[in-house]
């Protein structure tokens, strides 16, 4: 049996809504000859399947094994054509491409005047909506047609098209350079992670300054500015300058509010910009602005005019709920955030095919932290087990690392000492293999390893020593990020002051409200 998550056709069919399935059947049934077509029979069979099973398909006698691959490819293509015709998917970008296709057909038939008329309209729409790549393609086709459709105005027309091509090319080159830089920095983040030393920062800084093209901000269009802000944002994340992260994420989001028509044309970038703005606000602990930004984003997503599709629904689920959990962490209102657990579990089940493994595990980690903050350490441990036992988590090993450290603390809090020794050995081996230990992690491991030899009456003193030791790293440029994953200091203070950890965080939040 083939894994359902690995069969592209099965996933595509299961992603279709009722209206999309109905439209597909109308589309393929427009000619009577298709009514008994094998690919329709295959579609109906796969639509009824709960799990993809090739043996069931072959046993149905719809198709022979040697023909199955070709039939699946044909069905996949027909579904895509049907989806392209769906009014829901007819955004400006698709419409411009469609007009370019029509103009190309007219040109090939020798109907030059009609072709040029369509191209001129499509080009205006493309430039108006910052679709400069396709606008450049349109100008290039106009140039080809003009060389065959001779008019008296050709000298002026030639100059006009040459200038347009040059301007669009310059914009596209700038966009390409900035998008390449942004992508490279993002890749750096995934492979290497945050800068851990002055040498790391110097390396990132040299690369960024060398690759950043010279530009005049006044001449940049929407798309160039978007990639510029994204590049600065990733650079700021890499060097752990969270105030700069906030600055450029804010510029990114403001850019969309300045060009509101771009929100529905580029909804993914709009959502991601808001997510990074919220993440930056979480890092710098601007709780009031965090709440305001989150509420504004949720209102826009729920608005009837906001773009709706499967991809947007998955991203909206991920970003809204991840940041709602973060808000409860900032304010220490763990019990109030408990309702999110069911929403998160349901959403993961619903959107699993469109959310990568890392983000799913990150949601589980946040849920574990929610339970830890409530004092429900056993539920916390159950969610951490989902992360620790995951063999597919290749990127961002720091998530695995902090999950293991939090698991140790949760086992200690739950009084599960009989598991602690085994956990300590396993975690220590993992961290040594990682070769990426923060000083905070080293101190935590050392403290937990020594617990066995500490008498109960000495415990408070040991908590105090660890608190003093860790406070030194709270604002350390390369260590402070550890406290974003695990608020160890508040946990220690809860023991020293005899208060729940949620109360400690709430008291701190009141002082930081801004």
pLDDT at 437 over 70: no
**Among the ranges given (186-195, 203-212, 356-365), the one the predictor scored with the smallest mean pLDDT:** 186-195
The b-or-e profile of 374-408 (16+ CB within 10 A means b, else e) is bbbbebbbebbebbbebeebeeeebbbbbbbbbbb
Banded model confidence at residue 3, pLDDT cuts 50, 70, 90: very low
Please determine, for residue 90, whether its predicted confidence score (pLDDT) is greater than 70: no
Q: Which of 108-117, 327-336, 433-442 has the lowest mean pLDDT?
A: 433-442
Dist CA 477 CA 238 (whole Å): 12
Contact 360, 379 (CB under 8 A): no
Give the single-character DSSP code of 329.
H
Task: Give the Å distances, CA to CA, from 420 to 417, 426, 463, 492.
Answer: 5, 10, 18, 18
Give the pLDDT mean for 135-147: 91
Structure token pair of residue 10: 């099965």
Whether the CB-CB separation of 122 and 103 falls below 8 Å is answered with yes
- With residue 243 as reference, give the H or E element that holds it: helix 242-258
CA separation for the pair 449, 444 (Å, rounded): 9
Query: What 3-state DSSP class applies to 52?
Result: coil
Cβ neighbors of 491 (< 8 A, separation 6 or more) are 409, 501
The alpha carbons of the chain give a radius of gyration, in whole angstroms, of: 28
Enter the tokens of residue 327: 């808000």
**Given pLDDT bands bounded at 50, 70 and 90, which one contains residue 465?**
confident
d(CA 145, CA 448): 76
CA dihedral of residues 162, 163, 166, 168 (deg, nearest 10): -110
Type and span of the H or E element at 131: none
Q: Are 277 and 249 in contact (CB under 8 A)?
A: yes
- Helical segments of 5-111, H only: 8-15, 18-28, 38-48, 54-59, 65-85, 92-108
pLDDT band, very low/low/confident/very high, at 461 (cuts 50, 70, 90): confident
- The predicted model gives 180-209 an average pLDDT of 88
* C-alpha pair distances (Å), 38 with each of 49, 83, 149: 17, 20, 46
Calpha distance 504→514 (Å, rounded): 18
**Burial, 107: exposed, middle or buried (Cβ in 10 Å; 0-12, 13-18, 19+)?**
buried
pLDDT band at 155 (very low <50, low <70, confident <90, very high): low
Nearest alpha-carbon partner for 75 in 117, 39, 124, 24: 39
DSSP 445-490: HHHHHGGGG--GGGHHHHHHHHHHHHHTTTT-TTTTTHHHH--HHH
- In this predicted structure, the answer to whether residue 481 has a pLDDT above a threshold of 80 is no
pLDDT band for position 4 (cuts 50, 70, 90) = very low
What is the predicted pLDDT for the residue at 408?
81
Question: Is 422:397 a contact under the CB 8 Å cutoff?
Answer: no
Above 90 in pLDDT, residue 274? Answer: yes
Q: Is the pTM of this model over 0.85?
A: no
Q: Half-sphere exposure of 55 toward its Cβ, with a 13 Å CA cutoff?
A: 4
Sequence-ordered strand ranges (E) for 76-185: none
Can you point out the beta strands (E) in 333-427?
A: none
Residue 231 and residue 178 in contact, taking contact as beta carbons nearer than 8 Å: yes
- 504 sits in which H/E element: helix 501-512
- Please, which residues have CB within 8 angstroms of residue 428's CB and are 6 or more apart in sequence? 445, 449
Tokens found for residue 413: 């809090």
pLDDT for residue 190 is more than 60: yes
pLDDT at residue 63 is higher than 90? no
Using one digit for the tens of pLDDT, what is the confidence trace for 16-35?
888 889 889 888 877 655 55
């Amino acid at each position: 049996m083939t894994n359902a998550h690995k069969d592209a056709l099965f996933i595509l069919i299961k992603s279709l809504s009722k209206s999309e399935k109905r439209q597909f059947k109308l589309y393929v049934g427009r000619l009577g000859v298709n009514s008994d077509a094998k690919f329709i029979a295959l579609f109906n069979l796969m639509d009824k399947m709960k799990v993809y099973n090739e043996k069931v398909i072959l046993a149905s006698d719809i198709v022979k094994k040697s023909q199955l691959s070709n039939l699946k490819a044909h069905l996949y293509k027909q579904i895509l054509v049907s989806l392209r015709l769906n009014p829901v998917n007819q955004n400006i970008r698709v419409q411009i491409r469609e007009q370019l296709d029509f103009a190309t057909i007219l040109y090939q038939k020798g109907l030059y005047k009609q072709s040029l008329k369509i191209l001129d309209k499509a080009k205006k729409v493309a430039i108006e909506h910052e679709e400069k790549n396709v606008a450049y393609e349109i100008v290039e086709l106009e140039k080809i047609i003009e060389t065959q459709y001779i008019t008296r105005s050709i000298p002026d027309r030639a100059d006009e098209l040459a200038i347009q091509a040059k301007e669009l090319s310059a914009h596209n080159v700038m966009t390409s350079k900035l998008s390449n830089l942004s992508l490279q920095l993002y890749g750096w983040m995934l492979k290497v992670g945050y800068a851990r030393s002055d040498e790391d920062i110097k390396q990132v800084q040299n690369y960024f300054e060398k690759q950043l093209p010279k530009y005049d901000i006044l001449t940049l269009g929407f798309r160039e500015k978007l990639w510029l802000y994204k590049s600065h944002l990733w650079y700021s994340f890499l060097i752990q300058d969270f105030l700069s992260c906030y600055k450029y994420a804010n510029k990114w989001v403001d850019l969309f509010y300045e060009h509101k028509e771009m929100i529905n044309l580029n909804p993914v970038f709009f959502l991601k910009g808001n997510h990074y703005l919220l993440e930056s606000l979480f890092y710098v602990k601007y709780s009031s602005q965090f709440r305001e930004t989150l509420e504004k984003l949720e209102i826009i997503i729920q608005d009837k005019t906001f773009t709706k599709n499967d991809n947007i629904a998955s991203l909206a689920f991920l970003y809204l709920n991840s940041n709602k959990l973060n808000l409860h962490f900032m304010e220490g209102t763990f019990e109030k955030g408990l309702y999110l657990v069911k929403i998160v579990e349901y959403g993961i089940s619903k959107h699993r095919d469109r959310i990568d493994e890392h983000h799913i595990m990150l949601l589980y980690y946040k849920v574990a932290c929610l339970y830890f903050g409530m004092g429900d350490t056993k539920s916390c441990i159950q969610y951490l087990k989902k992360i620790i036992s995951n063999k597919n988590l290749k990127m961002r090993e720091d998530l695995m690392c902090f999950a293991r450290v939090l698991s140790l603390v949760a086992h200690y809090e739950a009084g599960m000492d009989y598991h602690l020794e085994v956990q300590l050995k396993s975690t220590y081996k993992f961290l040594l293999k990682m070769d990426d230990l923060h000083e905070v992690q080293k101190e935590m491991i050392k403290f937990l390893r020594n617990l066995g030899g500490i008498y109960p009456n000495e415990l408070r003193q040991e908590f105090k020593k660890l608190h003093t030791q860790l406070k030194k790293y709270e604002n350390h440029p390369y260590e402070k990020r550890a406290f974003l994953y695990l608020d160890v200091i508040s946990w220690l203070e809860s023991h020293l002051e005899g208060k729940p950890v949620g109360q400690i965080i709430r008291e701190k939040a009141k002082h930081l409200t801004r």
